[in-house]
Amino acid sequence: MPSSPTSKAELFPMIHPLPMQIMEQWTKSMEAAFKSMMQMAEFAAEVIDGATIKHINDLTANLISGTRMFNPALAMRSAPARSAVKKTTRRVAVVTGGCGGIGTEICRKLARNGCQVVSTYIAPEADFAKQWQKDRKAEGLDIDVVECNVTDFVSCEHMAREIEKKYGGADILVNCAGITKDNTLRKMDEAHWHAVLDTNLDSVFNVTKQFIDGMSSRHFGRVINISSVNGQKGQFGQTNYSAAKAGMIGFTRSLARELADQGITVNTVSPGYVNTKMAMAVPEDVRNGIIAKIPVGRFAEPSEIAHAVAFLASDESGYITGSDLSINGGLFMM
């Protein structure tokens, strides 16, 4: 006798509930996993938001305080692009021999262009330097002064540390310190030779050495060395001076190659005869004889030399390096 029809539950009494239990467990597991993923996403968002806010706060504090801060994104850019980016803080410009005739105009020009300028002086000229600083203050220029014997490497180290501590380092360096001890080589003594080479050439190494690491770390720097037309053409009675100034040009071109990919430019400015107190001390008939050989027909003004220095020191001059800018009124043309 055939049996009556039966339900699926009767045919599979043990199989039917099992898939339902597995489905319930799987669903609960997926819900838990999804919940964990959401919690992790929320946590990650909080961390990212916090890091972003901290970075923005740090940038804001940096802008307000004027503190120098290395920017990794900036460091990844090419050297010319880095140099083109202007900082939010004032450029710090160090001028050796800044209290002299040409140096004073360089300090004035850089200060009026918005730089924090620091001029060096030697210990015997401390009183003169302090009065010089007061005179600049009376002109509305807040220029700092610091003692430094540029012929002594240790003294230059101390000067650089003082500037680093006070201003965070130098962005612009103008090597302007120089002296003359003229005589023909036959009559020149050893002391006069070394005095000129030490002050005019060794000083460029002593001072520049102190600042290039800081410039490299900030990916910006301007080094301007004040050479001379006599370093290009030579001059009777100036073998020491001409040798030092010619050496400065060679130093400049070599260092420019070393630092070109780090946002640092190195150039020279080579003045001819400049209207300073030293030049005016030359007898008038001698001055007139010199002027007669200058196509422009006059001596340069110190402000004209300062203008050239300010041009090379600007942010916009980042593609000029290893160059010599001659300012001699046509006296010597290369």
pLDDT tens digits, 25-58: 655 666 665 566 556 555 555 544 554 444 444 5
Distance separating alpha carbons of residues 133 and 294, to the nearest angstrom: 34
pLDDT digits (tens, 9 = 90+) for 216-245: 999 999 999 999 999 999 999 999 999 999
Task: Provide the pLDDT for residue 19.
Answer: 56
CB burial readout 56-69, b (16+ within 10 A) else e:
eeeeeeeeeeeebe
Catalytic residues: 241
pLDDT digits (tens, 9 = 90+) for 281-316: 888 998 999 999 999 999 999 999 999 999 999 999
Inside any domain, residue 83: no
Lowest mean pLDDT among 7-16, 42-51, 206-215, 268-277: 7-16
Number of compact structural domains in the chain: 1
Inside any domain, residue 232: yes
For 217-257, give the DSSP string: HHT-EEEEEE--THHHH--TTBHHHHHHHHHHHHHHHHHHH
Inside any domain, residue 36: no
What mean pLDDT value characterizes the chain? Answer: 84
Inside any domain, residue 268: yes
Inside any domain, residue 123: yes
Mean pLDDT of 111-121: 98
Inside any domain, residue 312: yes
In this structure, the strands spanning 324-327 and 264-271 are parallel
For the sheet with 172-175, list strands across it. 144-147, 116-121, 92-96, 172-175, 221-226, 264-271, 324-327
> What three-state secondary structure class fits 121?
strand
Mean pLDDT of 52-65: 44
CATH number of domain containing 251: 3.40.50.720
How far from 214 is each of 10, 60, 163, 221, CA to CA, in Å? Answer: 88, 23, 11, 9
Inside any domain, residue 295: yes
Inside any domain, residue 77: no
**Domain limits at 194?**
91-327
Q: How confident is the model at residue 136 (pLDDT cuts 50, 70, 90)?
A: very high
Backbone phi, psi, residue 308, to 5°: -65, -40
* The model scores a pTM over 0.85: no
pLDDT digits (tens, 9 = 90+) for 93-110: 999 999 999 999 999 999
For 253-271, give the DSSP string: HHHHHHHGGGTEEEEEEEE
- Cβ neighbour number for residue 217 with a 10 Å cutoff: 14
Q: Is the pLDDT of residue 157 over 90?
A: yes
Distance separating alpha carbons of residues 65 and 49, to the nearest angstrom: 24
Among the listed residues 278, 330, 282, 249, the one whose alpha carbon sits nearest the alpha carbon of residue 102: 278
